[in-house]
Amino acid sequence: MSVAGALRDVVDYFRSDGADLDDEAYEEAMEAEEGRRLRRLEGERRGTGGAFDEIYAAEPEPRDRKVRPLHLVTPPQVRFAVQAPCSFDEAQSIADEFRRNSCVSVDLQGCEPRLAKRLIDFCSGLAYALDGSLLFVERDVLLLAPHHVELADGTRGTRSGFYNQL
């Protein structure tokens, strides 16, 4: 006999003797108790520990749950590139860095005014086309930021159109 079965027998022994029940209710209680005892004995014969079967018989089988793998959440890295173009041919390297989702600082202080104006127009169109933003840090220093980078002045993905140079 298992420990659980022995404990159940002790509880049954100290249980009410049925004096407060009428004859019919007493008979039903005794039949129910006899049925529980027989199920417990049958479980012990099968070697499954009848008390365990009786206690957990009503619990449903656990469902097969789909387990999702855990992924580490890391903030995106922000890369910065500094470009100081001397000719319009270097505009492609600015665009290549910006297309890689890097922030690009464009220093136009060493450029002649006509080239600086062309590069500002180019950077403005680049920021608009790739849904980024353009910020003038100094008079001749631009900062191109991709769409996922919020700039310090609160702009994020400026969508007001091209920068207009008159």
pLDDT (tens digit per residue) in 38-97: 877 776 666 655 455 555 555 555 566 677 777 777 777 778 889 899 889 999 999 999
Q: For the domain bounded by 80-145, which CATH number is listed?
A: 3.30.110.150
The pLDDT score that the predictor gives to residue 16 is 55
How many CB atoms sit inside 10 A of residue 83's CB?
A: 19
Report the side by side order of strands in the sheet with 141-145. Answer: 80-83, 103-107, 141-145, 133-138
| Percent helix / strand / coil, the chain, rounded to 5 | 45, 10, 45
d(CA 75, CA 134): 23
| Pairing mode, strands 133-138 and 141-145 | antiparallel
Give percent of the chain with pLDDT exceeding 90.
16
Is the pLDDT assigned to residue 124 strictly greater than 80?
yes
d(CA 148, CA 100): 12
Instruction: Provide the mean pLDDT of the chain.
Output: 75
The pLDDT score that the predictor gives to residue 165 is 62
The pLDDT score that the predictor gives to residue 158 is 43
